[in-house]
Amino acid sequence: MLHPISPLGAIHTAISLIPIFAGLYGFIRYGRIDPATNSGKVYIVSLVLSVITSFGVSSTGALNPGHAFGIVVLLVAFGGILAGKLTFLGRLRPYLSVFGLSFSFLLSLVPGTNETLTRLPLSHPLADAPLAPVVLHTLLVWFAIFVVGVCTQCLMIYWRNKSAVRN
């Protein structure tokens, strides 16, 4: 069954790919999404634009749980940015910041995975519903990668802080 995509849906999809690529670049280049870098700034701005354009894309014509999910993704991302600036958090600041920004990246993969697997390939999509086993298994893989990635990021922060104390 084909699910046609509207022109706004196509624009939203194109915009939604930008934070994925910017986030991946940040992970590869810096080991994290760093809002002080160009890729981090592109990630945040395009994530906001992705959520804004999602409000025009609705099969019901009204706000839906997907829109609320987008707002949660933004709150998590901005929470990650804010956590890095709150001095009362002390040594937890960098850990909470990388967790928040990485978690926002994971959350942004949820609708993208669902939409991709329920629409592609066009002739016979891999999944017929958002809760299809292939969607859930793919999300489980993303979650496992997230856990390993956040643990790695935290170890990198710990080692960097430990070597800074020695010097």
0.85 exceeded by pTM: yes
Query: 25-76 pLDDT, tens per residue?
Result: 999 999 999 999 999 999 999 999 999 999 888 767 678 888 899 999 999 9
- Spell out the domain ranges in the chain: 7-166
Sorted by sequence, the CB contacts under 8 Å of residue 6 that are 6+ apart come out as 57
Q: What mean pLDDT, rounded, does the chain reach?
A: 93
Cβ–Cβ < 8 Å for 89, 108: no
Query: 139-157 pLDDT, tens per residue?
Result: 999 999 999 999 999 999 9
Q: Can you give the pLDDT at residue 123?
A: 85
